[in-house]
Amino acid sequence: MKEIIKITISLTAICVAAALILGAVFAKTEDVRKKNQEKIKEETIQGLLGFGHGKKAPEDLKIFPVQRYVVSEPKATLLGYLVPLKDKGYALVTVDLAGKPLKAIPLKADAAKIADAGTRDAAVKEALPKDAKATYADTVYVANLGDKRLGYVVPGVTQGFKTFVNLMVSLNPDFTVTGIEITKSEEDPGLGDEIKRDYFKNQFKGKTLEILKTLKVVKEPLPTDYLVALDPSKSKATQDQIGQISEKHLKDDIYALTGATISSRAVTNGVKETVRKFVYRFGILADVMKQENVQAAF
Amino acid sequence: MNRNVTLLWNGLIPENPIFRLALSLCPAVAVTTSVKNGLYLGIAVIFVQVLSSCTVSIFKSLIHPRIRIPAYVIVIALWVSVIDMVLSAYDPHTYEKIELFIKLIVVFAIIISRLELFASKEPLVPSFFDGLGMGIGFTFGLCLVSAIREFFGLGQIFGQDIVDLKFLVMILPAGGFFVIGFVMATFNWIEYKITGKIPASGGGH
């Protein structure tokens, strides 16, 4: 009997000590981790827009995040878009599930409040009726160069080989894909993990909305000349040559990675879905803003 | 020879965790598709092994013998979590690459085996060198296997194209077993040539 008490105390003490150490380390590192993650996200977005890798983003590049919320009211479910306004304020533009515009609710918040997830959720909740519940869904980024629209960066999720693959797609104002980036994935190293390589990601570059609609994955070897254009860092092709080759293969389907057809297909479907949903949602949002006369900052 | 040096050497070749002790073969097959992966995981294992060995060696008198296994697991899990958190905060780019494997280190047989067989009986300094030797030996094993697999499977070493060779089975898990088997056999053959004795399996564990 005495021994069991000793064992219990000993094991409890070990667990408590371990928990304390972990808690202390977590408290010390969590803020740094969050800050670094924000920084990486920012870099990814800028990279997708064509800046980074030594090319500095111009001063007049402005990236506006637009958060989407799912608002559950007792009677109906709505979608709310958190739109930055021209005169420094923010508005929650609500739309019903069929795409019918509802109203724009002004928000009491400033940029700092919107940047932090916690205070942003609180601000949205405050603007809504008391019995409504708002759940954060995702954020799309609208990029302007001066007053001109540069493009959009849209996040997406897709079911990979085992777990989910998070990706980001950048589009130009005509909704042509200008690049994709895999932000989080757990595909097998050496096989599915190759989706992160340039020669795979660059295959999506230049695909228009029309091409994307019928885009498939084919199990054919990647043509050698195409590979040169897809991975410019490894070849000495000039910009013109790359442009020509890319033009020639523009309407090609996506060439599956060797030994990773499922991952290739997952990314392709993910990009298609992400773009399709974004174009649909953004169209509705633009209509609503016009109708309600919301002067967005972008 | 100095005992600490012997301990270091011991982990590297005579008791190499992968080829001689045949421990932690799962990660050795799973992550050795490229030298980079092997190296990153190996370095993470060195840290976990050394820190766990030292911790257990210091607190061995406080750990009740009947609950030593759960206590070891908590110690290992603690250090793995600490490394995981610190790395994800301060070096997110490296973390991105080893995120997948780092949490798996908790269940690596080699670590708990060294705690049980060595650190729980020996003082701090030898435990440190034993952990370091085992970690380096493990890293060496991973790098050797992954270099062979990456070369034959992708025609690359460290992500650099070397020859135009794509023998896909080497990258698939089956290739991992082949390579580990062949390297193990080579080690045994060398030992047989040197000592003239047929090596005992599993390094005696």
**Whether A184 contacts A196, CB under 8 Å:** no
Q: What pLDDT, on the 0 to 100 scale, is given for residue B1?
A: 59
Low-confidence ranges of chain B (pLDDT < 70): 1, 199-205
Mutate to test the interface with B, among A6, A29, A199, A234 (most CBs of B within 10 A): A29
Greater confidence (A236 vs A144) lies with A144
Amino acid identity of residue A31, one-letter, is D
Q: What is the pLDDT of residue A167?
A: 93
Q: Which residues of A10-44 are buried (b: 16+ CB within 10 A; e: fewer)?
A: bbeebeeebeeeeeebeeebeeebeebeeeebeeb
Q: Does A48 score more than 90 pLDDT?
A: no
Tell me the C-alpha distance between A206 and A214, whole Å.
Answer: 14
- Read off the amino acid at residue A83: V
C-alpha of A144 from chain center? 17
Position B127 scores a pLDDT of 93
Q: What is the mean pLDDT of residues A233-240?
A: 73
State the pLDDT at residue B200: 63
Q: Which of A3, A18, A191 sits opposite B74 (nearest CB)?
A: A18
Identify the pLDDT of residue B162: 76
Helix axes B68-90 and B92-102, enclosed angle (nearest 10): 150
Query: Which pLDDT score, from 0 to 100, does residue A199 have?
Result: 87
For all residues of chain A together, what is the average pLDDT? 86
Please write the tens of the pLDDT for every residue from A51-105.
Answer: 877 777 777 888 888 889 898 888 888 888 888 888 778 888 888 887 777 778 8
Q: Is B37 on the interface with A (CB under 8 A)?
A: yes
Nearest to A29 among B75, B86, B166 (CB): B86
Q: Please give the C-alpha separations between residue A236 and each of A226, A228, A232, A241, in angstroms, as whole numbers.
A: 13, 8, 7, 10
- How far off is chain B from A268, nearest CA to CA, in Å? 22
Which residues, 6+ apart, have CB-to-CB distance to A60 below 8 Å? A145, A146
Assess B163–A contact: CB distance below 8 Å, yes or no.
no
Query: Is A29's CB within 8 Å of B66's CB?
Result: no
Tokens of B3: 């005992």
Nearest to B33 among A25, A30, A190 (CB): A190
DSSP-based three-state secondary structure for B199? coil
Q: Which residue has the higher pLDDT, B200 or A286?
A: A286
Residue B86, min C-alpha distance to chain A (Å): 6
pLDDT value at residue A154: 93
Give the pLDDT of residue B203.
46
Nearest-CA distance from B31 to chain A in Å?
7
What is the model's pLDDT at position A244?
81
User: Looking at the DSSP assignment, which residues form a beta bridge with residue B185?
Assistant: none
Residues of A in contact with B94 (CB under 8 A): none
pLDDT the model gives residue B131: 93
pTM of the model: 0.75
Residue type, B101: F
C-alpha span between A41 and A45 (Å, rounded): 6
Q: Is the pLDDT of residue A197 over 70?
A: yes
Per-residue pLDDT tens digits for A96-141:
887 777 778 887 777 777 778 888 888 888 888 888 888 888 899 9
Mean pLDDT, rounded, for A16-32: 94
